[in-house]
Amino acid sequence: MTKLALITGASRGLGAALAEALAPTHHIIALGRTTGALEELDDRIKAKGGATTLAPMDICTPEAMATLCRGIHDRWGQLDLWAHTAIHAAPLTPAEHVDAKDLSKSVACNITATATLITYIAPLLGETGTALFFDDPHAGEKFFCSYGATKAAQIALARSWQAETRKTGPSVHILTPNPMPTATRARFFPGEDRAPLADIHSEAAAVLAQL
């Protein structure tokens, strides 16, 4: 029986690389906001003999996430793996100039949506499934106010879930990938020499090897 993996934030970057790395052994449910990028991912996976279900949705819309998870339940009954790579990367700014809209969107996407997804996905994972979260520790660094604070809160949510399910399952993992040449990183470090950064496909393989 083919295993089932949900990748939230699968349009590009680590999410897309994880989808491709898991495709030989999993049917991939690829969720992202950019339809074109999801279709390109689908083409790459199908070219290698894999299969995907595309979900062009916004994780910040709880009704859409409820519909998605109900659909997974009705069609497959369960989920083997959830990798959560979706993130809102607010522009860098001094703390005294934080934009209220950027902060609100960061809270909605990085904290509230994550909490909502945990409640919807936990029953699908059951006792034997696996959930993956990815830390990006910039909390407290200068200019990282909105992103750093809300990313840290997201990981705090995951750590609580991890502690609560240690004996009962699902298995919750919090991993810290090496810096990669993603679009998110380019927003934070424009003009950076990207040559020393880790290849996203190699990093995806390294992440999965830790499980």
Percent of the chain past pLDDT 70, that is, above it, reads 100
Instruction: Return the SS3 of 9.
Output: coil
Q: Spell out the residues 6+ positions from residue 133 whose beta carbon is closer than 8 angstroms to its own.
A: 84, 154, 155, 158, 172, 173, 174, 175
Higher-pLDDT residue of 59, 1? 59
Q: Model-level pTM?
A: 0.96
Distance CA 144, CA 184 (A): 13
Find the range with the poorest average confidence among 1-5, 90-94, 95-99, 201-205: 1-5
159-167: which pairs have CB atoms within 8 A and are 24 or more residues apart?
A: 161/118, 161/122, 161/131
Distance CA 76, CA 101 (A): 38
What's the token pair of residue 12?
Answer: 């590009």
Over the stretch 35-47, which tens digit does the pLDDT of each residue have? 999 999 999 999 9
Average pLDDT over residues 141-159: 97
Domains of the chain plus CATH, in order, are 3-209 (3.40.50.720)
Over the stretch 115-131, which tens digit does the pLDDT of each residue have? 999 999 999 999 999 99
